[in-house]
Amino acid sequence: MFQIREATPDDNQALLRLESQSPQGTGISIIIDRADYFYRSRIHDRSKVMIAEEDDKLVGVMAFAVKDALLEGSVEKVAYFYDLRGEASYRRSMKRGLFRLWKAVAEVIEEQKAEFIYGHVKADNYASLSVVTKMGAQEVASFDILSLPSLRGRAFELDPHLERLEEEVERIESHVGERCMRPPSLRIPYGRGAELGYLKGIFRLTGTRSFAQVSAWDLSSIYRGRVLHMPLNLRLLGAGLNPFARILPVPRVPVKGERIAYLQLFDPICKGPGGPALLKRLIQQLRRNAYQTGIDILTLFLYRDDPLASLPHFFPEKVLHYNTMVRPLSSSRMPEAPLYLDIRDI
């Protein structure tokens, strides 16, 4: 018998086992290690995790959160979906089940009068893209995740500006403006992040007529990555670099079985002719500082058409590509680029 219901804390272990069957990435294969499957849902006030069961066996999951966001300057309800996956041995025949799960979630969201449902799907996750596309979602934007190892070396003194957080958040809002998908107030995610200890700072470098800044978030206390597979080219690169990384400020390549702590960088802003160079230098300094606190990997999130910054280049680096997929619900309205990338979605 097939059924769809809302997950409860009693489903935590079964959901973690399901997640362990869905490692992230092609080439590099990484699984997320976390004790609490529901931590992402607790970030949002209006969220649910829906599961599909067949003969009392968990075979699929889809979570969503209804939240307020800016659309064309006005505050509207939108819904964000995430953690869409099916059980490994059941996956081929599960497509129909995932469609039913998606339809059930969409019906719940429509009752809450959300304008649309959206989510971020990895560009090479063809199974998930197939499901959401067949359910009427379409790609509206793409963003990249730049992944860099931390670096051994001298730490830098960087002001986190946490004592002036409200002023700093207003500064970010003034630069971002009323961009589509931005929360009505960035004080909500930033204030919550500072309260929980996840927000490590809003770091900035300034020049004569330029500046660059990013916010840094450390969620390693609630989840880490674990490497399941490394492609041959990276294993060879690691064999060459890793011995030197013990004593020199050169990148270290993760190895199979290693658990990885991440520092996530959001809201990059560059201003002035020297802004891009300052951003690259700031990230290099953050890589040094992150090494001192046990961080393994830094990730920078950025929409490709973001007017405030562009992705800097490093060696070695890994760039992951994601599509933002949107399906209209209560109206035909769609978000207009450039979009704002909400850290709560990641």
Distance from C-alpha of 121 to C-alpha of 109, rounded to nearest angstrom? 19
CA dihedral angle for residue 4, residue 5, residue 8, residue 12, rounded to 10 degrees:
0
Q: Spell out the domains of the chain, with CATH numbers in brackets.
A: 2-141+323-345 (3.40.630.30), 147-322 (3.40.630)
Q: Distance between the two ends of the chain, CA-based, in angstroms? A: 34
Strands 29-34 and 47-54: unpaired
Phi, psi of 181, deg, nearest 5: 80, 0
Chain mean position to CA 86: 20
Task: Read off the amino acid at residue 187.
Answer: R
Task: Read off the amino acid at residue 274.
Answer: G
- The model carries a pTM of 0.88
pLDDT (tens, 9 = 90+) of the chain, 346 residues, equals: 788 999 999 999 999 988 887 666 556 677 777 888 898 888 888 899 999 998 888 888 999 999 999 999 999 999 999 988 887 666 555 566 778 888 888 888 989 999 999 999 999 888 788 888 988 999 999 999 999 999 998 999 999 999 999 999 999 999 999 999 999 999 989 998 999 899 999 999 999 999 999 999 998 888 887 777 777 777 777 788 788 777 777 677 778 878 889 999 999 999 999 999 999 999 999 999 999 999 999 999 999 999 999 999 988 788 989 999 999 997 888 999 999 999 989 8
Chain mean position to CA 203: 19
Are 21 and 29 in contact, with CB atoms under 8 Å apart?
no
Tokens encoding 197? 């200890």
Tokens encoding 106? 């969409």
